[in-house]
Structure 1
Amino acid sequence: MAIGFPKSGTTSLTRSLETSGLKAAHWQDDKYRFVGQLIYHAVVNGLDPFAHLQGYDAITQADVCLPRRGMNYWPNLDFAVLRAIRRAHPTCLFVLNYRRPEAICESLMNWRGMQTRLERSEIPGLPAGAGATREQLVTWIENHFDACRAYFATDDRFIEIDIESPDVPQQLGRALGIQIKGWADHKPDAIVPGA
């Protein structure tokens, strides 16, 4: 499960995992249901966090932030949910998909009203009303990265990948025990102008 931010290689990760033979849920499932909403529904009802995502091998983007539709789910940033996932799935690989915080911020600010949606929403680490400035967004991103590194410091089923590094396929392959194919075929979000 990817536990970084949107605009941080999640599409590239999805395509590469699928090229490598895994089935990934990215933002929505095959029935166009939001992954984050499905995870929260399961957790608050005492179910396996992935109860509504049977048949998937990976969750590459779980967050959804559409306040006008009443959708605001961030299981990838919520340590209570991450803990529930770890309890239910001791071997689940948590992947911190790292990208420079300034680059994530820039992409979030340029993506379809995302900054406004973030500012309106109550998000782990970013209360409603915050997120209007680059500085606030960068601090939020940095704080999450630091929290992940501390929380998972002794967890051998946690890796951090820098999506701009050429070593991503090797790192993921070692952690998953498979050969990762297609990473070079899918230009990571990190280097797509205006991503």
Structure 2
Amino acid sequence: MAVSIINLGLPKSGTTTLKHALDRAGYTVADHRIKARETPDDPADRVFVGALMYEGLYKYGDPLALLKDYDALTEVSFIYGGTSVWPQCDHAMLLALRKLHPKLCFIATRRATEELARSIMRWNNLGKLRIPLSTVPGLPVGYGHEVDEQMIWIDGHYEALTHWFRTDPLYLELDVAAPDARSKLERFLGCDLPWWGQSNINPEDRDTPETGAEPAEQKDTD
């Protein structure tokens, strides 16, 4: 087994939707944390996908060296315990991944910019505390408290990916809310997806869940 898909989307961009879709299609997915590698009786023990990618890159020369049990990585960034890690924003990381794994497929899940920014702001303390108080690529400490600031950061991230990958046929920016999102992803991956819907819905939005919605999957708060 080897990682064949990495999502470079930001938090709340549809990362959990992608996880569930790939799970249902038979992929072995690592999303945000790998709880199977954590010590069950130690609440402070956290094994994050992004941390393993950096350990792999700098200790073993390959960002995927410690992730050989997985086919897909659907959320790679994290902020926890004063640590802020964003592999999807790191050109050195992307360069190493592309050089070492030329057949690797990159997806960048996204939603409409303002919708994504507002979702980040509503999700636990992510937009109101953790991002503004952390060092985030393109969003220095003290910025990100406002939706307008988040929108500049979000657009900058996806524009940077578009520039980086240019005409790379193994890169797909995917608007998860688009009517053709499922068919685009199926064509890109060359496989059928038994499920496509909405996952990890913000609590404020759960009064009107979309068809096929999955239960929310809580991710870390600091």
Above 0.5 in TM-score? yes
Q: CA deviation at 1:14?
A: 0.4
- 1:92 is matched with which residue? 104
- 2:198 is matched with which residue? 187
TM-score (norm 2): 0.80
- Separation in 2, partners of 1:119, 1:170: 36
TM-score (norm 1): 0.91
Tell me if 1:49 matches 2:54: no
- 1:11 is matched with which residue? 16
- SS of the equivalent of 1:60 reads strand
- SS of the equivalent of 1:37 reads helix
**Structure (1 or 2) with the greater helix fraction:** 1
**Do the aligned partners of 1:103 and 1:190 also contact (CA within 8 Å) in 2?**
no
- Separation in 2, partners of 1:84, 1:126: 23
Tell me if 1:145 matches 2:158: yes
**Do the aligned partners of 2:53 and 2:66 also contact (CA within 8 Å) in 1?**
yes
Tell me if 1:70 matches 2:82: yes
Q: CA deviation at 1:11?
A: 0.8
**Do the aligned partners of 1:4 and 1:76 also contact (CA within 8 Å) in 2?**
yes
- Separation in 1, partners of 2:59, 2:141: 26
Q: CA deviation at 1:168?
A: 2.0
Q: CA deviation at 1:76?
A: 1.4
- Separation in 1, partners of 2:202, 2:104: 28
- 1:154 is matched with which residue? 167
In structure 1, give the amino acid aligned to 2:135. Answer: E
- 1:109 is matched with which residue? 121
In structure 1, give the amino acid aligned to 2:22. Answer: L
Tell me if 1:177 matches 2:183: no
Larger relative contact order (CA 8 Å, sep ≥ 6): 1
Q: CA deviation at 1:162?
A: 0.8
- 1:167 is matched with which residue? 180
Tell me if 1:38 matches 2:43: no
- Separation in 1, partners of 2:89, 2:25: 26
- SS of the equivalent of 2:109 reads strand
Structure 1 gaps of 5+ residues are none
- Separation in 1, partners of 2:69, 2:122: 34
My pick for the range that moved more, 169-178 or 105-114, is 169-178
Q: CA deviation at 1:188?
A: 4.7
**Do the aligned partners of 2:123 and 2:202 also contact (CA within 8 Å) in 1?**
no
Q: CA deviation at 1:70?
A: 2.9
- Separation in 2, partners of 1:188, 1:149: 26
In structure 2, give the amino acid aligned to 1:123. Answer: V
- Separation in 2, partners of 1:94, 1:79: 14
In structure 2, give the amino acid aligned to 1:86. Answer: R
- 1:124 is matched with which residue? 137
Q: Deviations over 1:11-62 (max 9, x none)?
A: 1110110100101111012324100111111112242111111121111000
